[in-house]
Amino acid sequence: MASELSGALTLGLALREAAAQLKAVQTPLLDARILLKLATGLDDAGVIARSDDKLPTDQAKMFAGLVKRRAAGEPVAYITGVKEFWSLEFHVSPDVLIPRDDSECLIEAVIARRDKHAPYKILDLGTGSGCLLCALLEEFPNSLGTGVDCSAAAIAIARANSRKLGLAPRARFLVGDWAKTLEGGFDIIIANPPYIPEGDRAGLPVDVADYEPARALFAGESGFNAYQAILADAPRILSPGGRIVLEAGDGQAGRLVEMVTKTFPDAEILTINDLKGRPRGVIAERKSFAEKD
Ligand SMILES: C[S@@+](CC[C@H](N)C(=O)[O-])C[C@H]1O[C@@H](n2cnc3c(N)ncnc32)[C@H](O)[C@@H]1O
pTM higher than 0.85: yes
End residue of a domain, out of 56, 72, 88: 72
Is 283 close to ligand 1, i.e. is its CB under 6 Å away?
A: no
Round the CA-based radius of gyration of the chain to a whole number and report it.
21
Q: Is 165 helix (H, G, I), strand (E, B) or coil?
A: coil
Alpha helices, H only, 53-151: 57-71, 76-80, 104-111, 131-139
Query: Measuring from atom 27 of ligand 1, which residue has the nearest CA?
Result: 128
Looking at the structure, do residues 139 and 257 belong to the same domain, yes or no?
Answer: yes
What's 40's domain CATH number? 1.10.8.10
For residue 125, give its domain range: 97-285
127 CA to centre of ligand 1 in angstroms: 6
**Whether the CB of 154 sits within 6 Å of ligand 1:** yes
For the chain, the straight-line distance linking the first and the last C-alpha, in angstroms and rounded, comes to 71
For residue 100, give the ligand 1 atom closest to its CA: 9
Kindly state whether residue 109 falls inside one of the protein's structural domains. yes
Ligand 1 centre distance from Cα of residue 276 (Å): 24
Query: What CATH number corresponds to the domain at position 118?
Result: 3.40.50.150
pLDDT tens by residue, 149-198: 999 999 999 999 999 999 999 999 999 999 999 999 999 999 999 999 99
Q: Are residues 123 and 67 in the same domain?
A: no
Q: Is the CB of 107 under 6 A from ligand 1?
A: no
pLDDT-based confidence at residue 290 (cuts at 50, 70, 90):
confident
pLDDT in tens, 54-96: 999 999 999 999 999 999 999 999 999 999 999 999 999 999 9
Same domain, 47 and 105: no
Q: How many domains does the chain have?
A: 2
Q: Would you say the CB of residue 128 lies under 6 angstroms from ligand 1?
A: yes
Is there a domain that residue 92 lies in?
Answer: no
Quick one: average pLDDT of 226-237? Answer: 98
The answer to whether residues 68 and 105 belong to one domain is no
Distance 112 CA to ligand 1 centre (A): 24
**Which atom in ligand 1 lies closest to the alpha carbon of residue 217?**
1
